């Protein structure tokens, strides 16, 4: 990884935004650490590991832990590509403006349409999972009504904090980061060092999950252990206009999110496996929620209660970060006139300098979905099935757009640059993304058509609705936002930084 010569004579944040066609209207109160905390709490290894631990072990056995390394390496490649893009385009909205500037308005509209629905569903799912922790913490029975009320409470509390401004978002994100690190690395290390009941060789023991077939099938089936975990780092770029020196700091924050998140997930997942007193029962699928039992057996009742406090804090911070990222994407959509009610969505509070109306939408739609889940509990699986595949599709649309621009002569002009390695990394990131999407889209083998094809069915519904709206309403015609200008913007940034260098000398 190298740095471009412009790093020594970079434009200030306001002038960089002017080159991109925008005014500097937000408070830049978010530091590198706070930006990293936002991405990390969105990625949330505690949430990911807790949600997938039992499923991963029952499908792929202890070796499923290696998917954390495989997917982490692949997503690191993606984050490097994103880093070059956001360094040239440090603007709100992430996936949407990146895809627009790398390809075009219609292309970007579809990428963002899929991505925003995946994010909204993820907000609902994380709130639903968090309500279970909250119910355990307060000693409440996890009935459907209790789950709904606690889910809505998490959504509203996160909304109130987001309303208060970027500084409070950053503060709570840092608290959530501390909770995550304690909950995953701290507890994981404790289990590894003091509560180990299995040998390290267990991570190479399939424990019979393959049955009479090939273990390769079981191993690939357990890929979700990593694929569900490693997204959220892109949220660092969603709030770029609220970060000081975003062209330098956001790429670093995204890379840190992947690296620290990967290490945290390894400690956590590995610790639970090695400390499990009845690991074979988990692998056999006889214990669908094993982590509370592992914690109570190793930490005691008081220790388990303390962990619940940490977990609820982490879940709240995750919902907070998701709401913030979704609202900035909606704001970016609205600012460019690409959605109905775009003027309303693009309003910024004069007091807190946050897009309050977009935040309301980011809370209200997940709340409506939560009510639907309350009416039909099976609906949660159906509406969340496409979320991860949708996010990977949106990611790879940006990666493909970056490769297209490189073939047209684009040399990223931000302070963060991969130099000569950029083209190679871009190709590898695209190859990884295609591999991941194939794994996610592969139909199941239950024999029930709707169940086996639910992931592709859910994505197809979102894509078809988006295409119909795009072709009928033509939102791309309502916007004059700049598009497909990566080469031209890079040339202009180099010209301006060259002028600064000349004056300085």
| pLDDT tens track for 114-161 | 998 888 988 998 898 888 888 888 888 878 899 999 999 999 999 999
User: Does residue 146 contact residue 374 with C-beta atoms inside 8 Å?
Assistant: no
CA distances from 194 to 35, 103, 281 (A): 34, 53, 22
Host H or E run for residue 495: helix 486-504
Dist CA 447 CA 337 (whole Å): 45
Q: Domain of 334: which CATH number?
A: 1.20.1740.10
Write the DSSP string, 390-422: HHHHHHHHHHHHHHHHHHTT----SSEE-GGGH
Write the DSSP string, 261-301: HHHHHHHHHHHHHHH-TTHHHHHTTS-SS-HHHHHHHHHHH
User: Does residue 399 contact residue 81 with C-beta atoms inside 8 Å?
Assistant: yes
DSSP-derived 3-state class of residue 349: coil
Please determine, for residue 447, whether its predicted confidence score (pLDDT) is greater than 70: no
Dist CA 500 CA 505 (whole Å): 9
User: Does residue 60 contact residue 198 with C-beta atoms inside 8 Å?
Assistant: no
Give residues with Cβ within 8 angstroms of 350, minimum separation 6.
none
Bin 482: left if φ > 0, else alpha if -120 < ψ < 50, else beta.
Answer: beta
Residue 187: CA atoms inside 13 Å, Cβ hemisphere, count? 32
Dist CA 71 CA 59 (whole Å): 17
Question: 243 - beta bridge partners?
Answer: 30
Residue 185 is part of which domain span? 2-504
Computed over every residue of the chain, the mean pLDDT equals 86
The neighbour count for residue 181, using CB atoms within 10 Å, is 19
- 45-54, 115-124, 199-208, 234-243: range with lowest mean pLDDT: 45-54
How far, in whole angstroms, is CA 390 from its chain's centroid? 12
Q: Per residue, what are the HEC states of 169-184?
A: HHHHHHHHHHHHHHHH
- 156-160, 173-177, 305-309: range with lowest mean pLDDT: 173-177
| pLDDT tens track for 217-246 | 899 988 877 887 888 898 898 888 889 899
Sign of CA dihedral 50, 56, 57, 59: positive
Residue 191: CA atoms inside 13 Å, Cβ hemisphere, count? 33
Number of structural domains the chain divides into: 1
CA distances from 395 to 76, 161, 166, 184, 326 (A): 12, 28, 25, 26, 15
135 backbone dihedrals φ, ψ, rounded to 5°: -60, -45
How far, in whole angstroms, is CA 307 from its chain's centroid? 23
Please determine, for residue 425, whether its predicted confidence score (pLDDT) is greater than 60: yes
| pLDDT tens track for 249-302 | 999 999 999 999 999 999 899 999 999 988 999 999 888 778 888 888 888 888
């Amino acid at each position: 990884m190298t740095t471009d010569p412009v790093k020594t004579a970079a434009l200030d944040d306001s002038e960089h935004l002017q080159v991109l066609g925008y005014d500097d209207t937000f408070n830049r109160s978010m530091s590198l650490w706070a930006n990293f905390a936002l991405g990390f709490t969105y990625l949330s290894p505690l949430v990911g590991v807790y949600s997938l631990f039992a499923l991963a072990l029952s499908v792929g056995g202890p070796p499923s832990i290696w998917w954390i390394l495989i997917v982490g390496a692949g997503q690191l490649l993606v984050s490097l590509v994103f880093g070059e893009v956001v360094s040239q385009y440090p603007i709100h909205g992430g996936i949407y403006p990146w895809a627009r500037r790398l390809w075009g308005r219609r292309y970007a509209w579809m990428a963002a349409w899929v991505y925003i629905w995946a994010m909204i569903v993820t907000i609902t799912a994380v709130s639903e999972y968090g309500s279970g922790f909250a119910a355990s913490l307060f000693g409440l029975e996890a009935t459907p009504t209790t789950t709904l009320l606690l889910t809505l409470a998490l959504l509203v509390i996160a909304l109130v904090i987001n309303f208060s401004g970027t500084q409070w978002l950053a503060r709570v994100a840092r608290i959530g980061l501390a909770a995550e690190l304690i909950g995953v690395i701290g507890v994981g290390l404790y289990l590894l060092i003091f509560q180990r009941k299995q040998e390290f060789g267990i991570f190479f023991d399939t424990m019979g999950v393959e049955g009479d077939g090939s273990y390769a099938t079981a191993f690939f089936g357990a890929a979700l252990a990593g694929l569900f975990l490693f997204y959220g780092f892109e949220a660092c770029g969603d709030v770029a206009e609220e970060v000081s020196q975003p062209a330098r700091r956001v790429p670093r924050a995204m890379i840190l999110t992947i690296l620290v998140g990967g290490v945290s997930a390894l400690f956590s997942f590995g610790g639970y496996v090695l400390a499990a007193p009845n690991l074979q029962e988990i692998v056999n699928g006889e214990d669908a929620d094993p982590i509370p039992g592992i914690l109570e057996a190793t930490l005691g009742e008081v220790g388990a209660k303390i962990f619940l406090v940490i977990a609820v804090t982490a879940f709240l911070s995750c919902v907070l970060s998701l709401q913030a990222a979704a609202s900035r994407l909606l704001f970016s959509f609205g600012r460019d006139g690409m959605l109905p009610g775009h003027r309303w969505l693009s309003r910024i509070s004069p007091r807190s300098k946050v897009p309050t109306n977009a935040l309301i939408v980011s809370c209200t739609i997940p709340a409506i979905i939560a009510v639907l889940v309350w009416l039909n509990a099976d609906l949660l699986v159906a509406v969340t099935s496409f979320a991860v595949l949708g996010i990977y599709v949106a990611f790879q649309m940006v990666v493909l757009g970056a490769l297209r621009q490189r073939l047209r002569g684009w040399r990223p002009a931000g302070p963060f640059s991969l130099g000569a390695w950029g083209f190679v990394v871009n190709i590898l990131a695209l190859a990884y993304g295609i591999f991941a999407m194939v794994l996610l889209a592969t139909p199941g083998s239950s024999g029930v058509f709707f169940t086996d094809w639910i992931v592709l069915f859910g994505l197809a519904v979102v894509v078809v609705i988006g295409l119909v709206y795009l072709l009928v309403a033509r939102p791309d015609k309502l916007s004059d936002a700049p598009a497909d200008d990566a080469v031209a913007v890079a040339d202009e940034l180099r010209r301006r930084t060259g002028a600064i260098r000349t004056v300085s000398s």
